[in-house]
Structure 1
Amino acid sequence: MRSFRALLLFVSASLGFAAGEKIAVIPKGTTHSFWKSVEAGARQAGVEVDAQIIWKGPLKEDDRAQQIAVVQQFSTDDTDAIVLAPLDDTALRAPARSAMQRGKPVVIFDSALKGEAGTEFISFVATNNHRGGQLGGEELARLINGKGKVVLLRYAEGSASTMAREAGFLAVMARHPGIEIIVDNRYAGPTISTAQDAAMNLLDKLREADAIFTPNESSTQGMLLALRQTGLTRKKILVGFDTSPFLLAALKRGDVKALVAQNPTRMGYLGVKTAVAHLRGEPIETAVDTGCVLVTKTNLDTPEVKAVLGN
């Protein structure tokens, strides 16, 4: 009986008929595997707390104007709370503050927003992105024995999550005098296609490099496709971020040496749970670390990694 009720709640939430609070969940984009996992977690939480989940965000992860418009829409309708992954840590600050002033609590997830909890938002639910970048950097340095030439292909300006990962990675590189960063000022852009193009434009530097770091799903996949296209796969050490099925398959083949795994399902889940708890007058944390772990071919089947990957 209990499982039947849970099924009914899930169907109702998916179709927009849940009886409880209405929670708008606004991702950075809607195409990458990462965001599909976030959505699954958000909807799971909606079932458990009997809340209606409205999932809406820009198609591409560079459409700040569209994301701002979505936040403004939910700020003025009958939505009870907003769970937001801001595309830009500055551009989304005013829309989030406006929603808060209208009595719509905002939970920030995945990527930080400049501002203070209680003013621009009520809680920040995310990976410790700086630590994630450090994990990737430590593994890359180990793989090249602390010496060699390295390319960092950044993601996008204004994206707080990936900027923190890049900073964490570079902090580790700075501890190794034998490592030379030969590129750190180029950006992959919002899609796999733009990342592949950016990587192809760096072909001379990639041939020179011993290792490469990429800070999110699309930049990692785009870089990998470029390496395959140019015959450099496995000749260069690639350490990336995020764990889509495509990237995990590449890890198993040895095309990628390591991936830093976040827990997007948990992120979506806790974002919604935090918003609903606040609406119901329950105490919440202003900062929630959803965890990350380094994934390699050798530890892929360990309980710790399986727990993060949702296996």
Structure 2
Amino acid sequence: MSDRHEPPRSALSSPNGLGTAADGVVLLWWGGCERASPPGRRHTMSTRTKLRFDLQRTAWMLLMLLPLLGSCHRQPSVVIAVIPRTSGVLMWEPEHGGALATALPQGADIYWNAPTREDDIQGQIALVDRVASRSYQGLVLSPDHALALITPVRRAIARGLPTVVLGSPLAMPAGNGLWYVLNDEQTGARMAAQRLTAMLGGKGSIAVLGINPDITGIVERARLFEGDLAQSAPEIRVVVNRSGSFNLPHEQQVAEETLREHPEIDVIVTMTATAMHSALAAIAASPEKHIRVIAFDPDSLTFDSPNLDSMIFENTRRMGTEAVQLLLAEHRGISQPAVTYVEPVLVTRENIHTDEVTQLTSMDWRPARMRWKWSVGP
């Protein structure tokens, strides 16, 4: 006779609801409670008693599962829709991170959707209309077009949807359900003017490319930059400023024409990522030209080209945080300012690896607690 005990079996898997303990005591599960009988004796149950035991056991199991089932279907009381110009790019994914990191700790959630391209105006209008027709508690929108998005935003506000326009404004005043969280174009223009003045020693010729007339903030940025430069460094001449778009072939053509027609240019200031890529490609095709580039709103965090001097990033992560915080406060009945400005950040080869820049430009939109943590070893 062996002294080795068999491992215990669960009562749920034992015949007749019986489980055998390691010491030989027979355990009977009765409504979730154990009863013991001496070794050598077995409980005998009638069919009626067994049925009652099974019903009780099933009832206890359902009672234990109810909290879990409830948590699976529990929905946040506040869901805010966030629609950037596009997604999957360096400029807008940080906004996603800022919005989520603000919403989740306060019991809210974020619905994130965007057009696949920045020039897909109809696609963004359709998204705004879809959000306005559903039960969201707020909308954060970065418009692809200064005029085309006015009517959809008015429709959304008329349906009672509080709306924050982020990054660049629309041609409609704040108030009555509309707020603005905007890039501080004046600060960005001053950053570029100061950087340019230091590069050229206060004297030289420049071009300004990519002034997209569909984005109010970009037009204002170019105006403020040229005004600041004229006041602080009057000997730096803007020999050409060209309107632009998000169309890469068009921007490449503009950059090539600019270099061909104005060989005296020392620096190009680009207002969009599309203009930046086009200018750098045109310069690379003319290696005899030693032209440097200051780029607004880039879509990559690299200094692969020796001609790229610096980049000025909109702090969309902070804007996303401010916009969601504003809507949550309004939802609780706390009045918020009509317009908030967020300063951009100048990125150079010297500060590109700092914690501030790394956090600002992170493409990982998940809050820290949602990220996988990998380790090697114990």
- Verify same fold: TM over 0.5: yes
Name the Cα RMSD after superposition.
2.6
8 Å Cα contact 1:149-1:211 kept in structure 2: yes
Aligned length: 290
**2:81 is the counterpart of 1:27:** no
**2:153 is the counterpart of 1:153:** no
The aligned residue for residue 289 of structure 1 is 341
Unaligned runs of 5+ in 2: 1-72, 364-378
The aligned residue for residue 248 of structure 1 is 302
Taking the aligned partners of 1:192 and 1:273, their CA distance within structure 2 comes to 36
8 Å Cα contact 2:213-2:243 kept in structure 1: no
Closer, same or farther in 2 for the Cα pair 1:212/1:112, shift >3 Å?
A: same
Closer, same or farther in 2 for the Cα pair 1:307/1:65, shift >3 Å?
A: closer
Q: What's the CA shift string for 1:139-173, capped at 9, x where partnerless? A: 11221122221110024212012112211211123
The aligned residue for residue 36 of structure 1 is 93
Closer, same or farther in 2 for the Cα pair 1:205/1:148, shift >3 Å?
A: farther
1:1-311 aligned at under 5 Å gives the runs: 19-119=76-176, 121-175=177-231, 176-187=233-244, 189-192=245-248, 194-205=250-261, 207-231=263-287, 235-242=290-297, 244=299, 246-250=300-304, 254-301=306-353, 308-309=360-361
8 Å Cα contact 1:31-1:60 kept in structure 2: no
Closer, same or farther in 2 for the Cα pair 1:219/1:185, shift >3 Å?
A: closer
Q: 1:79 is matched by which residue type in structure 2? A: Y
Taking the aligned partners of 1:289 and 1:114, their CA distance within structure 2 comes to 17
Closer, same or farther in 2 for the Cα pair 1:290/1:48, shift >3 Å?
A: farther
Structure 2 length-normalised TM: 0.69
The range that moved more, 147-156 or 286-295, is: 286-295
Q: What's the CA shift string for 1:71-111, capped at 9, x where partnerless? A: 11111112221101112222222221221111100011111
Q: What's the CA shift string for 1:216-273, capped at 9, x where partnerless? A: 333223322332243367x1121111354x34334xx643112223212111222222
8 Å Cα contact 1:182-1:205 kept in structure 2: no
Higher normalized helix content (fraction of residues): 1
Q: 1:296 is matched by which residue type in structure 2? A: T
8 Å Cα contact 1:24-1:53 kept in structure 2: yes
1:310 deviates by 6.2
Taking the aligned partners of 1:102 and 1:301, their CA distance within structure 2 comes to 45
8 Å Cα contact 2:208-2:269 kept in structure 1: yes
Q: What's the CA shift string for 1:26-66, capped at 9, x where partnerless? A: 11122431112212222222322222211122222122222
Greater RCO structure (CA 8 Å; 6+ sep):
1
Unaligned runs of 5+ in 1: 1-15
1:206 deviates by 5.8
8 Å Cα contact 1:261-1:295 kept in structure 2: yes
Q: Secondary structure at the match of 2:118?
A: coil
Q: Secondary structure at the match of 1:257?
A: strand
The structure whose Rg is larger is 2
8 Å Cα contact 1:131-1:168 kept in structure 2: no
Closer, same or farther in 2 for the Cα pair 1:305/1:205, shift >3 Å?
A: farther
Structure 1 length-normalised TM: 0.83
